[in-house]
Amino acid sequence: MTNKQQLSTILSGLSTKIASFSVMAASVASLTACSSSMTPHYYTLTPKVTPIPSSNVRVIEVLPVNLPDRLNRAPLVLSTEQGQSKILDNERWTSPLAAELRDGLSSGLQQKLGAVDRYNSGMTGGKVAYRIATDFSRFDIVQSSYSNTHQVEVVVSWIVKRISPMQSESSSVNQSLGLNHQLSCRMSFNEPIKGLDQVSNAVEASRQSLNRIVNTIANSVIAAESGTINVQGAVCS
């Protein structure tokens, strides 16, 4: 083989390797572009409420909420009427849904009542507090396959318990003086979603649902403070 032929063979092999490298580089660039386009979107359930000007409640204690395991995750979950679920890995709450709901309840009730949530503050004694334990049976974003309507379906119950500063005394003494009593409430409703073409519509409907819950729980705290069981929008006993 002549030198010219050897050189031609070497150049041909080199060209093949360069072409292969170019294809590999293009593939990596494509994968990188796809990866960057799948960046998760994050949402929060921060409520917007109007304060009650005449509230005398100064201290509340919002406990962690109970929520079904199927919903207690950071990715949004879409459900169907047939019981199927779709997890949106790239559409997420800023924290697992139970934490979002508790934080939203705490923030909303503090704004609504003009009160301080002592759950995370370390505050103890000194003032009457209202402990709020909430149980969500449903907080589902539901897609209807039979109609063009979508909604957030909510079933929630809660207990408001008046906690007296005199907790060091016996429970029988507190009970005889009427210092500690509780109110049990329940509500259910469906909040329409204005189309599911954008996830933000489902998030906004979820936020409106939480606003409605905050307003009703706040009214139940006021009812507990005044010793009544009449709460608009809920059944209480």
pLDDT (0 to 100) of residue 32: 33
The pair of structure tokens assigned to 33 is 């572009």
pLDDT (0 to 100) of residue 24: 36
Give residue limits of the domains in the chain: 1-39, 41-236
pLDDT at 139 over 70: yes
- 81 against 48, higher pLDDT: 48
User: Given pLDDT bands bounded at 50, 70 and 90, which one contains residue 149?
Assistant: confident
CATH class belonging to 41-236: alpha beta
Distance of alpha carbon 225 from alpha carbon 198, whole angstroms = 42
pLDDT (0 to 100) of residue 172: 45
DSSP SS3 for 170: coil
pLDDT (0 to 100) of residue 37: 54
pLDDT (0 to 100) of residue 25: 37
Strand locations in the chain (E): 41-43, 59-62, 75-80, 85-93, 116-117, 129-143, 150-163, 182-193, 235-236
The predicted model scores a pTM of: 0.78
